[in-house]
């Protein structure tokens, strides 16, 4: 369990770059549709190159074969787990600071047990009490946000994140279920290439491409600036490749539903990393009393939750 928590926390550090850089692009006027779609365009290139370098051409051929054999599944999982999730996260960054988005994003810890139950998995209830503490912290952060901005900004930042919080574990769980092959409505995919973290992320990225194409056609955003291109490339590398691979690798090591819940819970560390990053790199203000109390409760809830899972 210690190894799983360490991997999850390291992934959270790299994931936090998403919230800081997305906020920076928003402040510079970059359109959220480009911020989200360009990330996965760069990820496609990075992941293919990494897989080619580390595993050779046969690995890319294997990815192609697995994708084509189950293309409907990968488009579904990629569109939900990567597409819906990240499009809503970048949309929300237009209306709230990065650390607020990161804190509200921790509702995924509450969403994960619900997703697991949806797939017929049993989830121990001994740690669920502490998710209430995490949720209380999230509420305090958003209450402070409401006192400093309009109700419209709060709703446009919080509600999309709530949906994204369910989309991400849902997409990842679809892949987990496919590898086990126990669900009657999900195809069993037991190809050896799925043991490679880069390959799994690449398959989900490929599956999300139709979603990004549809999003750009629907929003018709103005052309991205060179700064937005550079920033999305950096997000793709730090968060899309490194963090996502670490996170999915940790999930891949899980053998029990409570281990999955514990790995997902480590993502609360994104709150601290995002807050520090925004203060250091964007000149963000230190949160007020309510905001700090919310962050503290979120981290306290995380620590208590993980302690119950380790027992």
- Whole-model pTM: value is 0.86
Task: Report the pLDDT value the prediction gives residue 72, as an integer from 0 to 100.
Answer: 96
Q: How far is CA 186 from CA 76, 97, 133, 203, in A?
A: 11, 38, 34, 16
Task: Report the pLDDT value the prediction gives residue 240, as an integer from 0 to 100.
Answer: 79
d(CA 251, CA 226): 35
Task: Report the pLDDT value the prediction gives residue 232, as an integer from 0 to 100.
Answer: 95
Q: Where are the alpha helices (DSSP H) in the chain?
A: 2-27, 32-55, 57-69, 71-78, 85-92, 98-104, 108-118, 128-148, 151-180, 197-219, 226-235, 244-253, 257-265, 269-282, 289-310
Instruction: Please give the structure tokens belonging to residue 29.
Output: 């006027």
Owner of token pair 């360009």: 38
Instruction: Please give the structure tokens belonging to residue 27.
Output: 């402040």
Q: Give me the tens of pLDDT residue by residue for the chain, a chain 311 residues long.
A: 778 888 888 998 898 998 999 999 999 999 999 999 999 999 999 999 989 998 999 999 999 999 999 999 999 999 999 999 999 999 999 999 888 898 888 888 788 888 988 888 877 666 677 778 888 888 898 888 888 777 888 889 999 999 999 999 999 999 989 988 878 889 999 899 988 888 998 999 999 999 999 999 999 999 999 999 999 999 999 987 888 788 878 887 887 776 776 787 777 778 888 888 888 888 877 888 888 898 888 878 876 776 665 55
Task: Report the pLDDT value the prediction gives residue 151, as an integer from 0 to 100.
Answer: 80
Instruction: Please give the structure tokens belonging to residue 95.
Output: 């209306």
Count: domains in the chain: 1
User: Domain containing 165: what range?
Assistant: 2-310
């Amino acid at each position: 369990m210690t190894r799983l928590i360490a991997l999850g926390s390291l992934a959270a550090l790299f994931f936090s770059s998403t919230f800081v850089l997305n906020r920076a692009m928003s402040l510079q006027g970059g359109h959220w549709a480009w911020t989200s779609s360009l990330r996965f365009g760069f990820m496609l290139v990075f992941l293919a190159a990494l897989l080619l370098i580390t595993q050779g051409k046969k690995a890319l051929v294997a990815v192609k074969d697995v994708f084509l054999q189950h293309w409907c599944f990968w488009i579904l999982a990629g569109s939900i787990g990567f597409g819906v999730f990240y499009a809503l996260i970048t949309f929300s960054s237009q209306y709230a600071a990065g650390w607020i988005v990161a804190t509200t994003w921790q509702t995924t810890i509450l969403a994960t047990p619900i997703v697991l139950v949806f797939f017929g998995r049993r989830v121990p209830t001994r740690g669920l009490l502490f998710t209430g503490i995490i949720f209380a912290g999230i509420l305090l952060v958003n209450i402070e946000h409401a006192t400093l901005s309009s109700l419209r900004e709060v709703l446009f930042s919080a509600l999309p994140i709530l949906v994204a919080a369910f989309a991400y574990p849902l997409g990842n769980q679809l892949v987990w279920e496919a590898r086990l092959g126990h669900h009657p409505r999900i195809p069993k995919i037991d190809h050896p290439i799925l043991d490679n973290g880069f390959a799994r992320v690449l398959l989900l990225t490929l599956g999300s491409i139709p979603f990004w194409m549809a999003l750009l056609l629907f929003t018709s955003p103005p052309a991205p600036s060179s700064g937005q291109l550079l920033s999305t490339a950096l997000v793709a590398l730090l968060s899309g490749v490194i963090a996502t691979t670490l996170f999915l690798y940790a999930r891949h090591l899980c053998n029990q539903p409570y281990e999955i819940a514990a790995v997902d819970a480590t993502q609360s560390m994104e709150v601290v990393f995002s807050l520090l990053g925004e203060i250091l790199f964007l000149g963000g203000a230190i949160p007020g009393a309510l905001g700090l109390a919310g962050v503290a409760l979120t981290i306290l809830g995380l620590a208590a939750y993980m302690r119950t899972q380790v027992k």
